[in-house]
Amino acid sequence: MIISTDLRLPSTEYFNAPQKKDLIVLHHTVGGSAKSTFAYWRTDPEHIGTAYIVERDGTIFEVFPPECWAYHLGLKIGPKGVMDKRSIGIEIASEGALLERGGKYYAFGRMAEQTQFAGPRFDNKTVWRDYRYFAEYTPQAIDSVCQLVDKLLTQFSIARQTPASRLDCNLAGYRNYKGVLTHCQLRADKTDCHPGFAWDQLIASCKLKVTDAAKAAGTS
Ligand SMILES: [Zn+2]
């Protein structure tokens, strides 16, 4: 596994203060490339970002040191940033959810020539959070995510576990969760990671224990 530092945020664009990490949260970018997402973070004034962006070809970019932090969850629970601080975010470069109209597919919620999507699609067969179709994550990106998660779990001694329920939001239940989560489990308005994510591969390659969702402290 090669980790590139070619896209590196200056220390003024994240919080350059090491934290204890006990959680990894997976995202997808809803963007054109790792570079375009990085360019946005580079100029936004809000300290938004994740330590890693994984490009479609499998390249892993370490944008800032994983023990540091930036806002990546956008949660309305206090104190502000409490879960952002204790977690390591990983973004998978992807168009994300797709609109379908008349047999054509469109990214970024806009129907235009420039947003037409012709790449491999994941068909969820049923509508989930307003969408049925999603840009498929590439096998190269999935492989890199599996290797990176495995490395970080060891490096930060994070619990090797993930909830069984992958598509339901349960912020109250997960606010103290340690292990591997994805954004849509923490926010009902997010579609990352989408239902096509290779959970079985991640669980097998990182030897994750699958925890009972019902035990994740009660509320919905
Ligand atoms: Zn996200």
Identify the pLDDT of residue 195. 98
Q: How many Å lie between the centroid of ligand 1 and the Cα of residue 49?
A: 10
Q: How many Å lie between the centroid of ligand 1 and the Cα of residue 178?
A: 18
Same-domain pairing of 144 and 205: yes
- H helices of the chain, in order, are 34-43, 82-86, 139-155, 171-174, 199-205
SS3 215: helix
Q: Which of 28, 5, 25 is nearest to 141 (CA)?
A: 28
Same-domain pairing of 39 and 69: yes
Q: How many Å lie between the centroid of ligand 1 and the Cα of residue 184?
A: 7
> Half-sphere exposure of 92 toward its Cβ, with a 13 Å CA cutoff?
32
Same-domain pairing of 59 and 109: no
Q: For the segment 77-108, what is each residue's pLDDT rounded down to a tens digit?
A: 888 999 999 999 999 999 999 999 999 999 99
Q: How many Å lie between the centroid of ligand 1 and the Cα of residue 47?
A: 15
> The whole model's pTM is what?
0.95
Asked if residue 215 has pLDDT above 70, the reply is no
Domain region containing 19:
3-94+137-215
Q: How many Å lie between the centroid of ligand 1 and the Cα of residue 41?
A: 14
Domains: count for the chain: 2
* pLDDT averaged over every residue in the chain: 95
Q: For the segment 2-51, what is each residue's pLDDT rounded down to a tens digit?
A: 999 999 999 999 999 999 999 999 999 999 999 999 999 999 999 999 99
Q: Which residue has the higher pLDDT, 215 or 57?
A: 57
Last residue of a domain, one of 135, 160, 184: 135
Identify the pLDDT of residue 218. 45
Same-domain pairing of 130 and 111: yes
Q: Provide CB contacts within 8 A for 102, sequence distance 6+.
A: none
